[in-house]
Amino acid sequence: MHEIIEQLASTIREAAAQHTPLCIRGGGSKDFYGGPLRGETLGVSAYHGIIDYEPSELVMTARAGTSLVEIENTLRYKGQMLAFEPPHFGLHSTLGGCIATGLAGPRRAYTASVRDTVLGARLLDGKGDDLRFGGQVMKNVAGFDVSRLLAGSMGTLGVILELSLKVLPLPVAEATLRFEHAAAGAIALMNEWAGQPLPLSATAWHDGKLQVRLSGAAAAVSAAIKQLGGERVDDNAAQRYWQDIREQSALFFTSAKTLWRLSVKSTTPPLNLPGAQLLEWNGALRWLATDADAAAVRAAAQSGGGHATLFRGGDKALGVFHALPPALHAIEHKLKRAFDPAGIFNPGRLYPDF
Amino acid sequence: MNSVADSPQIDFTRQRKVVDALAAFLPEHALLYAREDVQPYECDGLSAYRQMPMVVVLPDTEAQVQRILQTCHALRVPVVARGAGTGLSGGALPPGDGVLLSLARFMRILDIDAAARSARLQPGVRNLAISEAASPYGLYYAPDPSSQIACSIGGNVAENSGGMHCLKYGLTVHNILKLRAYTIDGDLLEIGGDGLDSAGYDLLALMTGSEGLLAVITEVTVKLLPIPERAQCILAAFDDVGKAGQAVANIIAAGIIPAGLEMMDKITTGAVEPFVNAGYPLDAEAILLCESDGNDAEVAEEIERMKAVMRASGATEVRVSSSEAERYRFWAGRKAAFPAAGRVSPDYYCMDGTIPKRALPRVLKAITELSVKYGLRCMNVFHAGDGNLHPLILYDANQPGELQRTEQFGAEILKLSIDVGGTITGEHGVGVEKIDAMCMQFKPLELATFHAVKAAFDEHALLNPGKAVPTLHRCAEFGRMHVHAGQQKFPDLPRF
Ligand SMILES: Cc1cc2nc3c(=O)[nH]c(=O)nc-3n(C[C@H](O)[C@H](O)[C@H](O)COP(=O)(O)OP(=O)(O)OC[C@H]3O[C@@H](n4cnc5c(N)ncnc54)[C@H](O)[C@@H]3O)c2cc1C
């Protein structure tokens, strides 16, 4: 494994010297996400394997090339899971790609985000230097939190080599309920429930139907079923349903030509935009299949206190991620340069100018 | 800890210049520089470090904060932000040649959005005041540092503070949504958002725990959680500290995430019992407090599972709180650990390493040996569930040499934490206190990266200079001293 790091580091040094862009790639399952792929492919999936996993520590340390499937199977075997239910979007997705894109699934609003669970990281920066930040412990405030900064950084700060993550026990019991509601009613209900001590672990609304998943202690789940009412969804059907939301294999997603992801305040009223919508996370996440103008979509997200991402399809030339205010953009640009002075890692994948 | 002697004297010409520049827009009551007026700001919760600030400012509007920063930036004057001054690592230690910027007048709760379960706060709002204001809506703010009646939310963000409940509910970083902050240039940064994520790099995470080195926080939006229906607490006694440590691992391995999981050793229970009359079993080598919260049925079920694990782990006694009054009594001793240390000893020094839980028995044994070696008593209290240790070294500053021995004892504990794969600080921050220990935990290239991150926000290193991240030069000096003193600690300890 050491040779792989040496090899990666020397490729990086050479690329930095020549100013050759590198396109960091794990399993390629998220090639579609973010700005266009540019530069020579730097494959990182060879650096794989779980390094340390002690269930009673609630911490797993693994190489970034480890497949998500292996990670999740290993955890499940010990009765644990990744807290954020990441979408795989393909058979070969790796841990590194999962963290670098920062994408989380249905459970995220009720447990933790990708960055919430990151405890430590080892990376090669743009000079090929081998650096470690954070650690393998739950609480750690020594130095700036560089490892969490890597979550969602789209590979623009460095080649992630290893990650330590906080993991969670699998819930003992799970049940899904279905309700009929228009969007506005569903948003109100989801937020009302989120303000009560209920074991919610996922919510999704589409086309007049609201599905709610409960996870936790058996007693908590059965008490919540009684309290909430609705129609109980068969366990197998429920599992398929949440899998289809998580992996975007539901018809809503597969039939969308242009798919937008809007992250907004959960109580934001239904978006007044043409096209179909699917809501998750108590209403804090809005998927929108629309051919509406990018500017209109972004304005809607902004008025909901959030941001919009052109997730699939559409015209990426107009930008994928929401533009930042100038002061923030300037700081992010400087951060990028701090880690990658020659600007070789995934240029244009996050923002057109870095 | 005794930086008093090195304190630079105030340069009065410089002071006059800075005061004049600030007086141009600050009202008189917001600008202090007379010795008796600035004295209360000479230290934070780590009072062994003291420094008279050259100037103290107490603004009450964002526009004033912005101009203060712009003015100091133009004059190249250092600025240190201060919340409530309860920090335990000297993070808010004032600059002798600069401006201490107190956020104490930013006390307003700007908005509570019950439906969206969030609260928008000025940075000087006290931690406990948030939960008090949210409680009519059945909501609360989860991170609850022991200092919660006093510490400010701005300080909590700057330190990424934790509390008794962070194993289940997370640290500050997991419970905030949005910040408004000003850079030293006076630029306003709106970081995060009202949704659950934001565009670009995760600056919200980067700002959290940045100890006032990157920007001055002027507004914080936090998440509020529903108050659990019920909570119940188990008190389990053990005749061996190692067994108690193993019980902690067994609880987690059983798939339980307790709402709180704290440990106290025998010296600690002995010290706090006369103080709070909690009814602790004083013959036990260690006790665990293990809390469950949720709805009635859930708590009943979880408490049964917890009891079974405690018994199987060899607990000599397992008590379950039968009322809220009893639950509070169980916790009272844990919460009184610091004041109790202050009662049984003239001075105490609180450490804050975090270690992997599996190293707990080994580290506790080593601390006991160090206690003998240095001839100083040490109370062990910790957030056992997440491996965050707070050894309290008891000493008497009036005894010649005790402070130095205490410092050496502390440094050895930090080194030990690193050696077993942990960290020098779990929640109290580096500040000035652990600046040298940073040289042990990070390589020069990693420290250089921290400096580069700092420079992206603050090119001239004017915000809280000399804190949190040591200069490479300082580490080189420290390394030389270390080798010179021949302090190779625990060469026989396995490292991983
Ligand atoms: C008895 C006692 C018990 C404690 N228990 C705990 C505990 O259980 N858990 C825990 O985590 N901590 C604990 N602490 C430590 C301390 O209370 C926390 O670190 C707290 O968050 C500090 O808040 P403060 O407002 O007092 O900040 P200060 O001490 O005033 O400042 C701390 C740091 O934050 C910076 N800062 C403050 N405000 C701002 C701002 N608005 N913008 C930018 N930077 C800012 C300062 O420059 C400084 O570096 C305890 C302290 C005491 C005295």
Cβ partners under 8 Å of residue A73, min gap 6: none
Cα of A287 to ligand 1 centre, how many Å? 39
Is a pLDDT exceeding 60 seen at residue B6? Answer: no
Are the Cβ atoms of A145 and B206 closer than 8 angstroms?
A: yes
CB contact under 8 A, B199 and A151: no
Question: Would you call A306 and B453 a contact, using CB atoms and an 8 Å cutoff?
Answer: no
Q: How many CB atoms lie within 10 A of CB A345?
A: 30
- Collect contacts of A311-315 with beta carbons under 8 A, ≥24 apart: A311/A33, A311/A259, A311/A260, A311/A261, A311/A287, A312/A32, A312/A256, A312/A258, A312/A259, A313/A256, A313/A257, A313/A258, A313/A259, A314/A258, A314/A259, A314/A260
Please tell me which of the candidates A152, A196, A305 has its beta carbon nearest to residue B226: A196
Cβ contacts of A168 on chain B, cutoff 8 Å: 257
Judged by a CB distance cut-off of 8 A, whether residue A275 touches chain B is: no
SS (H, E, C) chain A: CHHHHHHHHHHHHHHHHHCCCEEEECCCCCCCCCCCCCCEEEECCCCCCEEEEEHHHCEEEEECCCEHHHHHHHHHHCCEEECCCCCCCCCCCEHHHHHHHCCCCHHHHHCCCHHHHEEEEEEECCCCCEEEEECCCCCCCCCCCHHHHCCCCCCCCCEEEEEEEEEEECCCEEEEEEEECCHHHHHHHHHHHHCCCCCEEEEEEECCEEEEEEEECHHHHHHHHHHHCCEEECHHHHHHHHHHHHCCCCHHHHCCCCEEEEECCCCCCCCCCCCEEEEEHHHCEEEEECCCCHHHHHHHHHHCCCEEEEEECCCHHHCCCCCCCHHHHHHHHHHHHHHCCCCCECCCCCCCCC
Chain A positions touching B388 (Cβ under 8 A) are 138-139
Check: CB of residue A288 under 8 Å from CB of residue B217: no
Closest CA to A96 of A133, A139, A60, A65: A65
Q: Summarize pLDDT for B156-215 with one digit per residue, the tens.
A: 999 999 988 999 999 999 999 999 999 999 999 999 999 999 999 999 999 999 999 999
Pairing of strands A118-124, A130-134: antiparallel
Q: Which among B117, B191, B197 has the least Cβ separation from residue A194? A: B117
Q: How confident is the model over B262-282, as a mean pLDDT?
A: 94
Interface with B, mutate which of A137, A297, A310 (most B CBs under 10 A): A137
- Residue A325 touches chain B, beta carbons under 8 Å: yes
Q: Which fold has domain A2-170?
A: 3.30.465
Q: How far is the CA of B44 from the centre of ligand 1 (A)?
A: 9
Q: Tell which one of B41, B44, B57, B86 to mutate to probe ligand 1, the residue whose CB is within 8 A of the most ligand atoms.
A: B86
What pLDDT shows up at residue B491? 39
In 3D, which of A98, A21, A112, A33 has the Cα closest to residue A63?
A98
Q: What lines the ligand 1 site, CB under 6 Å?
A: B 44-45, 80-88, 91-92, 103, 123, 145-147, 151-152, 154-156, 158-159, 161-163, 211-212, 216-217, 338, 427-428, 464
Residues of B in contact with A262 (CB under 8 A): 195
Q: Whole-angstrom Cα distance, residue B267 to residue A128?
A: 50
For chain B, the first-to-last Cα distance in angstroms comes to 30
pLDDT value of position B477: 87
Name the band, by pLDDT with cuts 50, 70 and 90, for residue B48.
confident
Distance from Cα B173 to the centre of ligand 1, integer Å: 14
Å between A190 CA and nearest CA of chain B: 10
- Tell which of B112, B197, B440 to mutate to test the A interface (max A CBs under 10 Å): B197
Interchain CB distance below 8 Å, A102 and B189: no
> By the CB < 8 Å criterion, does A229 face chain B?
no
Neighbouring C-beta atoms of residue A207, cutoff 10 Å: 10
> Would you call A108 an interface residue with chain B, using a CB distance cutoff of 8 Å?
yes
* DSSP-derived pairing of the beta strands B216-223 and B118-121: antiparallel
Q: Is there a contact between B438 and A350 if contact means CB atoms under 8 Å apart?
A: no
The tens place of each residue's pLDDT in chain A, 354 residues long, gives: 899 999 999 999 999 999 999 999 999 999 999 999 999 999 999 999 999 999 999 999 999 999 999 999 999 999 999 999 999 999 999 999 999 999 999 999 999 999 999 999 999 999 999 999 999 999 999 999 999 999 999 999 999 999 999 999 999 999 999 999 999 999 999 999 999 999 999 999 999 999 999 999 999 999 999 999 999 999 999 999 999 999 999 999 999 999 999 999 999 999 999 999 999 999 999 999 999 999 999 999 999 999 999 999 999 988 999 999 999 999 999 999 999 999 999 999 999 998
For residue B490, the model assigns a pLDDT of 39
The whole-angstrom distance between A27's CA and the closest CA on chain B is 23
- The per-residue pLDDT for range B116-158, each reduced to its tens digit, is 999 999 999 999 999 999 999 999 999 999 999 999 999 999 9
A227 in B contact zone (CB under 8 Å): no
Predicted pLDDT of residue A232: 98
pLDDT tens, position by position, B322-368: 999 999 999 998 988 888 998 899 999 999 999 999 898 899 999 99
Going from the Cα of B85 to the center of ligand 1, the distance in angstroms, rounded, reads: 6
**CB proximity A225 to B under 8 Å:** no
Cross-chain residue pair A169–B191, CB shorter than 8 Å: no
* pLDDT computed for residue B168 by the predictor: 95
Partner-chain residue, chosen from B114, B195, B201, that has the shortest CB–CB distance to A265:
B195
Q: What is the pLDDT of residue A1?
A: 85
CB contact under 8 A, B194 and A136: no
What are the pLDDT digits (tens) for A258-299?
Answer: 999 999 999 999 999 999 999 999 999 999 999 999 999 999
Q: What pLDDT is recorded for position B1?
A: 43
For chain B, percent of residues with pLDDT exceeding 90: 86
Q: What are phi and psi of A334, to 5 degrees?
A: -65, -35
Measure the CA–CA gap between A18 and A11, rounded to whole angstroms: 11
Predicted complex ipTM: 0.97
Q: Give pLDDT, residue B483.
A: 45
Does A138 contact chain B (CB < 8 Å)? Answer: yes
CA nearest A51: which of A65, A40, A41, A37? A65
- State in Å: Cα B45 to ligand 1 middle: 8
Dist. CA B208 → ligand 1 center (Å):
12
Average pLDDT over residues B265-277: 93
Minimal Cα–Cα distance from A207 to chain B, Å?
22
Cross-chain Cβ contact B450/A143 below 8 Å:
yes
Q: What is the pLDDT of residue B7?
A: 57
Q: How confident is the model at residue B479 (pLDDT cuts 50, 70, 90)?
A: confident
3-state SS record for B1-61: CCCHHHCCCCCHHHHHHHHHHHHCCCCHHHEECCHHHHHHHCCCCCCCCCCCCCEEECCCC
Count helices and strands in chain B by DSSP H and E runs: 17, 18
State whether A113 and B196 contact (CB < 8 Å). Answer: yes
pLDDT tens digits, residue range B11-23? 999 999 999 999 9
| Domains annotated on chain B, with CATH | 12-102 (3.30.43.10), 109-226 (3.30.465.10), 230-335 (3.30.70.2190), 343-484 (3.30.70.2740)
**Among the atoms of ligand 1, which is closest to the Cα of residue B157?**
21
Task: Please tell me if residue A53 touches chain B, with a CB cutoff of 8 Å.
Answer: no
B172 CA to centre of ligand 1 in angstroms = 12
- Chain B residue with Cα closest to A298: B199
Chain B nearest C-alpha distance from A57 (Å): 6
Residue A346 identity (one-letter amino acid):
N
Question: How far are the Cα atoms of A269, B175, B341 from residue A110, in angstroms, in the given order?
Answer: 21, 12, 39
Extents of the domains making up chain A: 2-170, 173-316
